[in-house]
Amino acid sequence: MPAPMHEHMLANMRDHLAALSEIQAALAAGRYDQAADVAEQRIGMSSLERHGASHMAPYMPKAMQDIGTNMHRAASRLARAAQEASVTNEPSHALGALAELTQQCVACHASFRLK
């Protein structure tokens, strides 16, 4: 991956971590709609454009792209689970979906480095 893109990718990563923290705080406070918004807009399928995903993906090996796709999908599933929680007031599905999302972060970090 060209060096200027490293900075872009790491900036995306720092925003992902900040988003996870905001999601956890919102779930803990019972602000489920807010958790859903952050998950969808910052990490979910709706964030692909904003992260320049289509420019980055071609520089990643296929297995890495697949984990990235799994991460974006997991975040969108989390967003739906959090919306569900806002109706049922029962966050356990959303917490499970949050764990599945963070597993994708862990999986990619375990296998890939920028250089």
Whether the CB-CB separation of 59 and 5 falls below 8 Å is answered with yes
User: How far apart, in Å, are the Cα atoms of 79 and each of 22, 33, 67, 109, 111?
Assistant: 13, 8, 18, 23, 26
Structure tokens at 19: 């988003």
In angstroms, the CA 53 to CA 86 distance is 30
Binds ligand HEC by CB under 6 A, chosen from 56, 57, 64, 95:
64
Among residues 2, 49, 89, 113, the one that binds ligand HEC under rule CB under 6 A: 113
| Choices 13-21, 32-40, 47-55, 85-93; region in contact with ligand HEC by CB under 6 A | 13-21
Sole residue written with tokens 């979910």: 44
From candidates 36, 67, 82, 97, binder to ligand HEC by CB under 6 A: 67
Report the residue from 16, 42, 51, 77 that binds ligand HEC according to the rule CB under 6 A: 16
105 touches ligand HEC by CB under 6 A: yes
| Piece of 27-35, 77-85, 89-97, 104-112 that binds ligand HEC (CB under 6 A) | 104-112
